Amino acid sequence: MTNMKKLILILFSTMLFASCEDVIDVDLNDGQPQLTVDAILTNIDKPQYVRLTLSGEYFDAASVTPITNALVELTDSDGNNYTFKTPDTDGKYELDSSFSNLVVGREYYLKVTYNNEVFTSKSTVRQVPAIDSITWKREKLPFGDVDSIWAVQFWAYDSPGLGDAYWVRGTRNGELNKLSTRLTVAYDGSTGRGSKTDNIPFILPIRGSISPGGSFAGPPDGQEFAEVGEKVGVQLYSISQDFAEFLTILEDQLNNGGLFAKPPTNLPSNIRNENSNGSKALGWFEVSNTSVDEAEISWERGNNRK
């Protein structure tokens, strides 16, 4: 990563996994800031926006600079044009047009003009299954300080036809779960790309990924288990396999560490400069048909389906 000011390298010398460590400071050149595009647009009934920033130093969120002087344009294959509001100070360009009616097969074209360069990207709307229900039950834990928890899962069938990919995001009391290092991606209702499964119920590890705190593991990242009276939900994004791969690599980077950590790699991007000799951009543009559901945890409906 050329945009890292300093990299701390930890060299381990081990014998029977007993280690000592030396810290070496390596001075690296400053990297050239790059346009970074965060443009995941959905039909969820909430503000949709494209966020533009300039990349900063590696692992230094404070060095990211919002871009507020770009021109953002969005069109589709049916000839529709979508307008944006004036960007806020965070570099968010909010859509000023309705975006609730996403048609499967329709293509969307993003165009960003910044610093006399033009960057473009394309995304196609895909089919998404409806959420059948959200269920929960008391589940005993084999270890830890908690005897039992509410294990929550959603129920849905993978859409017919091979090649579907999904991003599963859990919500709690109307807010997305704040687990930045835990990203759940599914392929055709299962976990592996090329699994050859089709039109099946999403498998248990996918269904249960929305459960706050997990099912048989302790609360990750300090998150508490769900309690009666809380609302737990799911947002099921239908995405391209390329974006699914992007999320998988991102999760690997976020959780990369320890003795056998792999060297960091650049994330892929589907943002292209119209000038092949121009500067490169980072980030992703995706338009996603999304199914949403939510339920309140209660003793009365514990194990029931709709």
The residue ranges of every structural domain in the chain are: 133-241+291-296
Around Cβ 128, how many Cβ atoms within 10 Å?
22
In this predicted model, what pLDDT tens digit does every residue of 14-34 receive, in sequence order?
Answer: 323 333 444 444 444 456 899
The closest alpha carbon to 4, from 276, 277, 263, belongs to 263
Q: What is the mean pLDDT of the chain?
A: 83
Residue 213 has a pLDDT of 78
Residue 5 has a pLDDT of 36
Mean pLDDT across 188-206: 88
Instruction: Indicate the Cα dihedral angle 271, 272, 274, 278, nearest 10°.
Output: 110
How far are the Cα atoms of 114, 146, 152, 222, 232 from residue 143, in angstroms, in the given order? 54, 8, 19, 17, 24
